[in-house]
Amino acid sequence: MAFYARLKNGEIVAPHYGRYIYPGDEWLKLEDRYLEQVKADSRVEIKNQEEFDEIAKKEQQLIADIRDGQWKLSEKRINAISNIKLLQYKLLPELEKAKKEKLIQITKDRIEELTLQ
């Protein structure tokens, strides 16, 4: 069974455990053979499959809340998200399917804002 890892906030060095772990909000799936090494590295956060499934469930709930909620509250939620991949590959397609033009534009603006940082 694999596990997931990412660098803790403020860390900038990319350790290598089969794959480089770069700074950011993205969780990277790693093989079990690296588990003990990663546990010993204080720069890295790790999650098992069950914990990661819970994170994915919360992301799906957030996307549903944004898509189905009142647009002003949805705008605040979108502007609080700092994960570009969540915005671009998960939220934006959902909003396009639901034809939420105002939220699509807000999401595109947020992606552009994060890209420029």
pLDDT, block means (10 residues), the chain with 117 residues = 87 87 84 92 91 92 95 94 92 95 96 90
Residue 98 tokens read as 């639901």
State how far the alpha carbon of 51 is from the alpha carbons of 12, 35, 62, 73, 103, in Å.
24, 15, 17, 27, 30
- The confidence score (pLDDT) of residue 44 equals 92
Whole-angstrom Cα distance, residue 69 to residue 64? 8
Secondary structure element (H or E) that encloses residue 46, with its range: strand 44-47
Decide if 48 contacts 3 (C-beta within 8 A).
yes
What is the per-residue pLDDT for 71? 87
Q: What pLDDT score was predicted for residue 46?
A: 92
Give the per-residue pLDDT at 117. 75
pLDDT for residue 11: 87
Q: Where are the alpha helices (DSSP H) in the chain?
A: 35-40, 49-68, 71-80, 84-85, 92-98, 101-116
The β-bridge partners of 45 are 6
Among 25, 52, 21, which Cα is nearest to 38's?
21
Does this model's pTM top 0.85? My answer is: no
Q: Tell me how far apart the alpha carbons of residues 117 and 113 are, in angstroms, rounded to a whole number.
A: 7
